[in-house]
Amino acid sequence: MEQIKKRRFGIWAALTLALVLVLFTAWALFRVQQNQRHQDTLDRVLKSGTITWGVKSDTKLFGLMDTKEGEPEGFDVDLARAVTKEIGREKGKQLKAKIMPTATASRIQLLKSTNIDATISTMTITPERAKVVDFSQSYFSAGQSLLVAQNSGIHSLQDLNSPKKTVLAVVGTTAAQQIKQLAPKAKIVALQDYASAMQALKAGQGQAVSTDNAILFGLAAENPGYHLVGGNYSQASYGIAFSKDQKAMVKATNNALDRIKADGTYNRLIKKWFQNIPGVDWHQLEVKE
């Protein structure tokens, strides 16, 4: 009987120890996840000496892949480098900007996983997005519009409000939501990127591409025979995004943007990228004193 009791006690002791180990492991994993979730971005980039920026590689004027250089170029890319320089200057440390091509649909997840430190990618500031990322102040103002073939006969959003009409958008943008509200009868097809949307438009799979006018101006410049119609049917402000709870990084970035706007760097970049684009009054994009 005594041996049976000892055996039972041994079993219970082993089970208790196993349970304690399982609980400790779960707690440790939870702490690791918490640390990753609340990791301070500014502290990380100052230690590494590099800010990794997620930018687009399919959006002319803002972030379009340069086949010769092997990385994107555009307004967003240049602004990312300028912000990096200013943050480094403020913190007394030389920082390097690393540019990483990033798809619209994956940019928030890349922020959460810390594969990128920030994304500057024509990302519209919205209340929904602000629940999952932190935004800087606005760095560019745009408005959603339509790109159509010049012989399409489409002149406004109302011309698309029919079950026979298809509007093309890009996954991860706010355009599809706006179309559903303003032209509820239209069909909406969301593609992975703007190159795919433009190919679908040319192939007759839709009658219009809808997104911000600044992006559409770039597409129109690359594709003769297509133009913007209907004016802007909504307003949008682009912000630089970070993972959630990054007050120090947001403050440093806003300070950098303030200095870039004050010293003329911002307007020089506006002129560089928008002065020769048909249909764009680049002076309207400048920061006014």
Q: pLDDT tens-digit profile of 193-220?
A: 999 999 999 999 999 999 999 899 999 9
Domains of the chain from N-terminus onward? 41-141+237-281 (3.40.190.10), 143-236 (3.40.190.10)
Q: What is the DSSP letter of 105?
A: G
Query: CA-to-CA distance for 270 and 215, rounded, in angstroms?
Result: 14
Q: Give 25-31's long-range contacts (Cβ < 8 A, gap of 24+).
A: none
Please check the confidence at residue 130 and state whether its pLDDT lies above 90. yes
18: Cβ contacts below 8 Å, ≥ 6 apart: none
pLDDT in tens, 12-35: 545 554 554 455 444 444 444 544
pTM here is: 0.79
Q: What is the DSSP letter of 184?
A: T
CB 243 within 8 A of CB 182: no
Task: Name the maximum alpha-carbon separation found in the chain.
Answer: 96
pLDDT in tens, 132-156: 999 999 999 999 999 999 999 999 9
156: Cβ contacts below 8 Å, ≥ 6 apart: 146, 229, 230
Q: Is residue 173 helix, strand or coil?
A: coil
Angle subtended at Cα 40 by Cα 36 and Cα 45, rounded to the nearest 5 degrees: 110
